[in-house]
Structures are given as C-alpha cells and as structure tokens.
Structure 1
Amino acid sequence: MDRALTSRFDTLSPFRYRHRSSLTITRRFAPAIVCAKRSPIDGVSDELNLIASQNFDQAPARRRARSAFVDLQLQLDHCLFKKAPIGIRTEEWYERNSKGEQIFCKSWLPKSGEQIKAAVCFCHGYGSTCTFFFDGIAKQIAGFGYGVYAIDHPGFGLSDGLHGHIPSFDDLAENAIEQFTKMKGRPELRNLPRFLLGQSMGGAVALKIHLKEPQAWDGLILAAPMCKISEDVKPPPLVLKALILMSTLFPKAKLFPKRDLSDFFFRDPSKRKLCEYDVICYDDQTRLKTAVELLNATRDIEMQVDKVSLPLLILHGDADKVTDPTVSKFLHEHAISQDKTLKLYPGGYHCILEGDTDENIFTVINDIVAWLDARVAPK
C-alpha cells in the first residue's frame, strides 16, 4: 500500500478527538477542496511557468500543459531520454470508453521491419501518467523488440476526469480492460503473447485486471506494487470509519495535511529534481473517495492473492518506504503461480525504473526484458 496515503491518516487532526461529532468533522473538511499552488520551475520561461501553474482539475488544461512541455521534457538530462533507442515508432490517440470519457492511449513499437515479440500493456501509478518517465522506459523495452501499450487512467494524465479522483477502483480496472482489449486486437499483435506491467498503484490495477480475467494474459510484471496494507501503516478502525463517512459526504475533497514524500521516491537527487517538469502529475492532497477506494482495493487484492496464477515477476527496491517490500514478499509467497520470481534491489527506493542510478535503472529494465525473452522464446 502507498504510504503516501496511509502516512497521513494518523495526522488528520479531525480524527484525533473522539468526542467530536460527525458534523464537526465535516465542517473541518469542507474547505479542503482547493488546489495546491505549484512552485516555479527554475530555468523555465515565465510563459511555461504560467502554464504549469494553471488549475489542472480538468483534462483540457492538462493537455495544453503537456503540449507546451513535451519538447522540453525530451531534452532533460536523464538516461531514459538521453539513451533512448533510435527508430522507435510511437503513436498517440484517444478512445472513448463505455462511460463516454476520452482515454489517452499510446504505443511504442520496435523500429520498422523488426518483428514484434509480444505486447506489454502498462498501468501507471497513483498521480502519474504514461507521457513522462514511462515514455523513456517504454522506448527501452520496445528497443528489445516488444510492442508497449499504455493508457492514462481516468482522472490522471491526459485522460478525462477530475484530477486525482477515483470514484471506483473497479471502474479503473474495467476501463483498463476495455482499452487493453482494443489494443490486443490491433493487427500487429495478432497471435502474439500479451503481458501486463504495473507500477505502484498500477500494480494493483494490473492485479485486479488479472483477477477479473484470469485467462486473458500470458504474464504479469509488477514494479513496487501496491497490493496489501502493512500493519504498521494500517489506519486505526476509528480513523477508517471517519474516512469512509467523509468520503460519502465530500468524495472530491482532499485529505489534509499534505506531506512532501519526494525524498522517498527517487534515490538519485538529480533525477528527483527532474520531477518538476512532470507538470501534469497529480501532486496534491489525496481526495477522500480516492483514499477509500485505494484502501478497499488493497484489501480486496489481499483477500484474493492466492488466486494470482499467471507467470509472475515482482521487482522492488528493498529500501522502498512508499510501498513496503515485505508486501511483495507476501504476494510472492501466497500467489499460486507455478512460475514466479521476486527480485529485491539493495538500497533501491520506490521508483526503481526511473529514480535510481543509471546503472541500476538499466539493470531493472534488463531484468524485465530477460524475463520476457525467456517466456516468448520458442520451446
């Protein structure tokens, strides 16, 4: 479970006083729906800083910001961008889902003329998007011959929906199933193996997808997955009851206070600094309904972990303080998969695919590719 959420529960001042009524609590929370003001980005023009400071609650504003920053992002001093393979073919498009929302989709294919080995469908983490660091990760994987496909979840990145709002985690998974089903039907993927890749909260989405359609995939890769709440960060029963009550009254309101957890995500300080350029990530207080849905999702996955049956690769930094590596050990131990691998990276923080040293980042990517290669090779 993301400690970015649970670490805030014990400090929520309305829950400290047991004698206060629900009405008092709701009054304390009611104003907490404002957007956090983004600090100016050093070395960026006033025009771009003005764009980055806009309210990104709705998708059109996020799309305008991404368009303004996309060229600058690709020039950043990060190994994923500087060492991107040549000739990777990319495509971006929108699909309207069954709820009428425009969902952003993107693909990365090997260079023209190279045979695609398999499809890898990616689920991004909480607050994130598939258009920043993952763009570099996807190019690396595509460079080894894989077709990589991704979406922005509703409410995140370039997809429709209130920024950072998850009304239903099951709907999040169902939307991913809907979009990935369309992607798997594309001509270039006919008769090819299909794998799921989920990072952090995206790991929970990927697990939910697998549990909903157990036979639809050929393997599951999880990086620092959010799949169980550690006992040391589980909210007390009173806090949880109050949180659930508040989420029904003010589902879009944001939890207060907000803690800066950036030091826990990126091991390499220079790469941590580059997060400022990911202007459309959701970096505000967690909305009440979102927090409840994430808690419910991890509880549901924990109860069904013995149904995880796909070939499974779990990757986790052993110094991760955002999602607990012992939870990955729990998943590895209890999954019924006959083919399962757990890789713990010494000293690794949460963002092992983008926030570690260059050498370690490519080690993790190479581990993913080696695992895929071993499962798509003719037997």
Structure 2
Amino acid sequence: MTDVKTKSALSPQGKPYDELSHFINADGNHIFTKCWEPPADVEMRALVLILHGISEHCGRYDPLAEVLVAKGIRTFAHDHLGHGQSEGARIDVTDFNIFIRDALQHAGMIKEKHPGLPLFLIGHSMGGTIAILSMNKKPAEFAGCVLIAAATQINPAEATPFRLFMAKASAYMMPQVGIVAIDPKWISRYPEEVEDYANDPLNYHGKVKARISVQVLKGIDNVFKSIDSIEWPVLILHGDKDHLVLLEGSKVMHEKIKSKDKTLKIYPEHFHALHREIPEDAEKVRQDILNWIEERIDRKPEVYCVAEKEETNEMTTEEKESEKEKAEEETKEENEKEELKEETKEIKEDESVKDEALENENKE
C-alpha cells in the first residue's frame, strides 16, 4: 500500500515510513495502513475497509479481520490522521471532512487494485460517522456498510448549550486543550479487554481535545441532515448498555433512512466495543457481521443499483441542493423585480396624479 518511500519521514513512534505500509493523503501526511490477507488456499471474494473510532487505532481490529479473511474477504484499515501510527498532531483535525477524504482515497486505492470485487465499509463509533458520510458521498463505490455503535446522535445530557458554547470557544482559542476523557471501563464488560485498551501504547489516553470534539459534532450533525436520503444497504449494531454513544441514535437512523436493506441488532447488556466484548458475545457479533456481508457478496442489492443509477444518470444530492438553491435565488430575484415594478408603478401613478392636479390648478 506504500505509494512513496521517504527515509526522512518518521511515524509518531519514530519508525521510518519506508518500513511501514502507508499512503500519503492530499495534505502530504503519511497515513498508516494495515491489510489482512485471506489464506492462500481460500479464494478472495470481497473486500472490507475498517474505520476505527476516536483515540484508538486500526490494529485493534485483528480479531474481526481474522474472521473475515478466513472466508475470503480481504480486509484493510488505516489509522486516521493524528491517530496510532499516522502523522498529524495527536487526536486533532481541523476539519472532519479530512477523515472522509482519506477514507475515500484509501477505498479508491483498494478498488483500483481489486476491480470487480465488492467493497464493504465497517465503521466503529466515530469511524461509523466517517463511514456514513463516505457512503453518502460515493454510494456506488460500496456494496454496503456495517455500523458498530456509530456516533450518529449528540447526547443532550452531555452536550448542553453551555458546554457546546465552551467547546466551540475552546476549539477556536485553545484547540489542543483536553475537554473529555474516555473511561476504559465503558469499552467492554470483559476485564481483559478493558486492561488491554488501557495499556495499548498506540491508543491515545489523554482527554479528547477541543477542536476534534467540535469537528466530530459537526460530522454527527451532517449525518442527521442527510439521514432521510440514505438508501444504501446497512447493518446497524449497538449495545443497550453503551455508555459512550447513544443507542437512540442507531434507532433513529434505522427508523428514518429510506434503505430497503436495513437491519438493526441490539445486543442486551453489551457495552461500546461490541466486537471486543466478553469472548463468546464478541464472537457472536463478529459472526453476525460476517453473515451479513456474505449474504451480499454474490448479489447486487436493489438499493445499490439505485444508488449507481442516481450517480450516473441523475443529479447527485449536492447537485439537487445546488439547483434548489439556484431556483430559490431566481425566485427571490423575480420577487424583488416584481416589488420594484410595483414601487415604480406607484411612483408613476403618484406623479401622474400630481401632474393632473397641477394642470387643473393652472386651468383655474
């Protein structure tokens, strides 16, 4: 996956990028990548790109990837900008769209190397937000999406107007200041997983910074704004004891999207990282993901065909919005012209009345 070898560029851990799999994004940053290969005797049937959550890294998806590759699904992932072994200030981003842009760049590289194979997205937590917005931007590129406790709704109890104001003010004046910490105990019910998360040197263990927090909120807001237009295949997974991301967001998404191929699975007593829960429960979650993908490998979902048709033969959502804005602007201009005409007419009528009065006065 390495595009350019640069001996001078080092990862945040001090390792040369010419020794690490990576791509270089549009801003010139080295983005660390990981690939899990199917066994040599297993035919490659599909592709998956995993998008991890905030403060973690793609190496934490080994158990899930192993289940997928065993069935011929070549699996890819990368560390988001500012995460894990990728370049960038730790847990910071100036614009949430950078995450989406990088995800689409990686997806494009994967598709180019494996033409003809269906590509699925899997997004966890913040990675779920990125996955949704990436799917919305280029729906025809993907065969479907799996969301694991995706961040799709702001918690009103936490994000009070005052806290939102303070977060935005901090993001502007002190973007690197930490405002909220992730408590590892809410990641999983399994003590070994909690310990593993807390001791993982590639995870970020400080408070999540102000600027990225505000950018994530903007990403969630964009998901909410586009939710009515979603028509692609999606599997939505959430634990009913998730203390980090609202279950209600997954419920609302499942209810409001227009997709004909949508499934919501709620796991009783599960915490946030469903794929890293108590071993037997995590195994069930990983199997559910595999089953859903396998069911869609050999068939092209109807909604996916619709997405392709819309992209190739009809206007995109952005184009429709642009046309709508243009039409509204033209209507506004027409109204202003009509108002101007009416005002001009009234002025002329007033002048006519005055002229007539003056003429009568002269006659007298």
Q: TM-score, normalised by structure 2?
A: 0.76
Alignment-derived partner of residue 123 in structure 1: 51
Alignment-derived partner of residue 223 in structure 2: 301
Consecutive unaligned residues in structure 2, runs of 5 or more:
1-8, 301-364
**Amino acid in structure 1 at the alignment position of 2:129:** A
Q: CA deviation at 1:172?
A: 1.1
Alignment-derived partner of residue 26 in structure 1: none
In structure 2, the CA distance between the partners of 1:219 and 1:92, relative to structure 1 (3 Å rule), is farther
Q: CA deviation at 1:177?
A: 0.7
Partner Cα separation in structure 2 for residue 312 and residue 181 of structure 1: 20
Q: CA deviation at 1:216?
A: 1.6
**Secondary structure of 1:63 counterpart:** coil
Q: Does 1:216 find its partner at 2:141?
A: yes
Alignment-derived partner of residue 151 in structure 1: 78
**Secondary structure of 2:178 counterpart:** coil
For residue 13 of structure 2, the aligned residue among 51, 63, 86 is 63
Alignment-derived partner of residue 351 in structure 1: 273
Q: CA deviation at 1:251?
A: 1.6
Alignment-derived partner of residue 319 in structure 1: 241
Contact 2:11-2:86 within 8 A present in 1 as well: no
Moved more, 160-169 or 245-254: 245-254
Of the two, which has the highest radius of gyration?
2
Contact 2:11-2:87 within 8 A present in 1 as well: no
**Secondary structure of 2:139 counterpart:** coil
Q: TM-score, normalised by structure 1?
A: 0.73
Structure (1/2) with the larger helix percentage: 2
Contact 1:62-1:280 within 8 A present in 2 as well: no
Q: Does 1:231 find its partner at 2:156?
A: yes
**Secondary structure of 1:139 counterpart:** helix
Q: CA deviation at 1:241?
A: 2.5
Alignment-derived partner of residue 118 in structure 2: 193
Contact 2:42-2:70 within 8 A present in 1 as well: no
Partner Cα separation in structure 2 for residue 259 and residue 153 of structure 1: 19
Q: Does 1:291 find its partner at 2:216?
A: no
Q: CA deviation at 1:240?
A: 1.9
In structure 2, the CA distance between the partners of 1:211 and 1:289, relative to structure 1 (3 Å rule), is same
Partner Cα separation in structure 1 for residue 77 and residue 220 of structure 2: 22
Matching of residues 221-260 of structure 1 within 5 Å: 221-236=146-161, 238-255=162-179, 258-259=180-181
Consecutive unaligned residues in structure 1, runs of 5 or more:
1-58, 68-90
Alignment-derived partner of residue 91 in structure 2: 164
Partner Cα separation in structure 2 for residue 178 and residue 61 of structure 1: 20
Q: CA deviation at 1:214?
A: 2.3
Q: Pairwise CA RMSD of aligned residues?
A: 2.1
Q: CA deviation at 1:92?
A: 5.7
Contact 1:309-1:336 within 8 A present in 2 as well: yes
**Secondary structure of 2:274 counterpart:** coil
Alignment-derived partner of residue 111 in structure 2: 184
Q: CA deviation at 1:348?
A: 0.4
Aligned residue-pair number: 291
Identical aligned residues as a percent:
28
Alignment-derived partner of residue 135 in structure 1: 62
**Amino acid in structure 2 at the alignment position of 1:282:** Y
Q: CA deviation at 1:64?
A: 4.4
Partner Cα separation in structure 2 for residue 161 and residue 318 of structure 1: 34
Partner Cα separation in structure 2 for residue 312 and residue 297 of structure 1: 19
Partner Cα separation in structure 2 for residue 204 and residue 63 of structure 1: 27
Q: Deviation string for 1:123-144 (max 9, x for gaps)? A: 000011012x212221221112
For residue 108 of structure 1, the aligned residue among 36, 44, 48 is 36
Partner Cα separation in structure 1 for residue 284 and residue 89 of structure 2: 36
- Structure with the greater relative contact order (CA < 8 A, sep ≥ 6): 1 or 2? 1
Q: CA deviation at 1:260?
A: 5.7
Q: Does 1:330 find its partner at 2:255?
A: no
Partner Cα separation in structure 1 for residue 201 and residue 193 of structure 2: 15
Contact 1:315-1:342 within 8 A present in 2 as well: yes
Partner Cα separation in structure 1 for residue 284 and residue 16 of structure 2: 29
Contact 1:116-1:146 within 8 A present in 2 as well: yes
